[in-house]
């Protein structure tokens, strides 16, 4: 996906939240990214490096928690997880239907000062 745009929106949201909290600097940015979004970790990190200078997050550390894609098997109905954008059921081999869980991009929290 387009990690640059995603990171830009995240930093904007983070700056708004930090300002609302009366802070001047962001020290840590914590995100949760689901595997079903197709976000590539290295690309997200590079985007953050490019966006840092001049922002409230200039000296910040980015912590990203990647959560697996959550699937519902179309065959046997069992729920399963996979570190991929589409997957087959480990129980019966039928394709899994991706659910919204595992497709999120969230700003979880900030450490600010």
Partner 1 sequence: MCIECGCGRPGPTKINGKPTNRSYAPASADRKAKIVGATPGHAHKTVDVHQSIFAANDKKAAENRALFTSKGLLVLNVVSSPGSGKTTLVQKTIERLAGKAPMGVIVGDLETDNDARRLRTTGAPVVQITTGTLCHLDAEMVARAFGELPSDGLRILVIENVGNLVCPATFDLGEGLRVALLSVTEGEDKPLKYPPLFSFAQVVVITKQDLAGPCEFDRDAALASIRAVNPAAKVFEVSAKTGEGMDDWCAFLLEELDVRSEE
Phi, psi of 16, rounded to the nearest 5 degrees:
-65, -45
Residues 6 or more apart in contact with residue 68 via CB below 8 angstroms:
34, 35, 81, 82, 83, 102
Q: What is the smallest separation between the CB atom of 97 and partner 1, expressed in angstroms?
A: 5
- Residue closer to partner 1, measured from CB, 42 or 75: 75
Residues near partner 1 (CB under 8 A) are 1-2, 4-6, 8-10, 12-15, 17-19, 21, 23-25, 27, 36-38, 54-56, 58-59, 74, 85-86, 94-98, 103-113
- Residue closer to partner 1, measured from CB, 78 or 106: 106
Residues 6 or more apart in contact with residue 20 via CB below 8 angstroms:
none
Q: What is the smallest separation between the CB atom of 32 and partner 1, expressed in angstroms?
A: 9
Instruction: Give dist(CA 98, CA 86) in Å, integer.
Output: 7
């Amino acid at each position: 996906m387009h990690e640059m745009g995603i990171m830009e929106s995240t930093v904007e949201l983070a700056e708004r939240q930090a300002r609302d909290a009366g802070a001047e600097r962001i020290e840590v940015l914590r995100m949760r990214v689901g595997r079903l979004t197709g976000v590539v970790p290295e690309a997200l990190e590079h985007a953050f490096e490019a966006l840092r200078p001049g922002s409230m997050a200039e000296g910040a550390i980015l912590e990203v928690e990647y959560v697996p894609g959550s699937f519902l098997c179309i065959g046997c109905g069992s729920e399963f997880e996979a570190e991929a954008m589409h997957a087959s059921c480990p129980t019966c081999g039928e394709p899994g239907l991706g659910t919204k869980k595992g497709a999120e991009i969230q700003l979880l929290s900030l450490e600010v000062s």
